[in-house]
C-alpha cells in the first residue's frame, strides 16, 4: 500500500484526466476508491462505526494496547459516542499510545466531557448533546472544531 503523499499525488493526477467525458464514470469510481483507501491509512485501520463509551462517572483514558487497566478504554473507532454518566463533567484523555487520526466525539450524556491530551492539558470541552472533532498526529492532540453550548 502506497504512503499518503503518493496517494495524494495520484489523486491529483487522476483529477487532471477527469476532463474525458467517455472515461468520467470509471475515473470517478477510481478516485472514490483511492480516497477511501487514503482515509483508511490516515486513521491507521480504526473502524469508523461508532464506539460507545460509558464513562460511569469517572475519568477515562483512551489507549490502543490490548491490556487495559482500570479507568482505560481500548479505542477501536474514530467516531466516539461518549456519555459521562455522572454528576458532573468527566475527563476523557487521549494517551500517547492512541492511533493517529481524526476523531469525532459526540457527547450523548447529560454532562460535559472534557477532552485532554496525555499531559492532562484540556484541549476542548464538549457540552451536552454537542460534538467535537479532534486530530491526533501521534504527538499533539488538536481541537479542530467543538460545538458551542
User: pLDDT digit string (tens) for 8-67?
Assistant: 555 555 555 555 555 566 666 666 666 666 555 455 556 668 999 999 999 999 998 778
Residue among 130, 122, 123, 85 nearest 105 (CA): 130
State the pLDDT at residue 121: 95
Poorest-confidence range of 27-31, 61-65, 125-129, 142-146?
A: 27-31
The whole-angstrom separation of Cα 16 and Cα 20 is 10
Contact 55, 92 (CB under 8 A): yes
Confidence of residue 1 (pLDDT cuts 50, 70, 90): very low
Alpha carbons 108 and 106: distance in angstroms, whole number: 6
Across residues 82-87, what is the average pLDDT? 89
- The pLDDT assigned to 16 comes to 54
pLDDT of residue 126: 93
> pTM of whole model > 0.85?
no
Q: What is the structure's pLDDT at 11?
A: 57
More confident residue, 36 or 149: 36
Q: Which residue has the higher pLDDT, 69 or 8?
A: 69
Closest CA to 94 of 67, 115, 109, 112: 115
Query: Which pLDDT score, from 0 to 100, does residue 101 have?
Result: 86
pLDDT band at 118 (very low <50, low <70, confident <90, very high): very high
Query: Three-class SS of residue 45?
Result: coil
- Which has more confidence, 13 or 106? 106
Task: Please report, for the chain, the start and end positions of each structural domain, with discontinuous segments joined by +.
Answer: 4-42, 51-146
Amino acid at each position: 500500500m502506497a504512503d499518503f503523499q503518493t496517494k495524494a499525488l495520484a489523486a491529483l493526477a487522476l483529477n487532471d484526466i477527469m476532463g474525458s467525458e467517455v472515461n468520467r464514470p470509471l475515473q470517478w469510481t477510481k478516485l472514490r476508491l483511492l480516497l477511501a483507501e487514503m482515509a483508511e491509512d490516515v486513521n491507521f485501520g480504526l473502524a469508523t462505526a461508532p464506539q460507545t463509551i460509558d464513562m460511569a462517572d469517572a475519568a477515562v483514558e483512551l489507549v490502543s494496547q490490548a491490556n487495559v487497566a482500570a479507568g482505560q478504554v481500548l479505542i477501536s473507532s474514530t467516531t466516539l459516542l461518549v456519555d459521562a454518566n455522572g454528576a458532573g463533567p468527566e475527563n476523557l484523555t487521549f494517551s500517547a499510545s492512541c492511533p493517529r487520526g481524526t476523531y469525532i466525539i459526540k457527547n450523548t450524556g447529560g454532562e460535559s466531557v472534557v477532552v485532554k491530551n496525555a499531559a492532562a492539558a484540556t484541549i476542548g470541552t464538549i457540552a451536552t448533546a454537542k460534538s467535537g472533532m479532534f486530530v491526533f498526529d501521534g504527538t499533539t492532540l488538536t481541537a479542530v472544531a467543538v460545538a458551542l453550548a
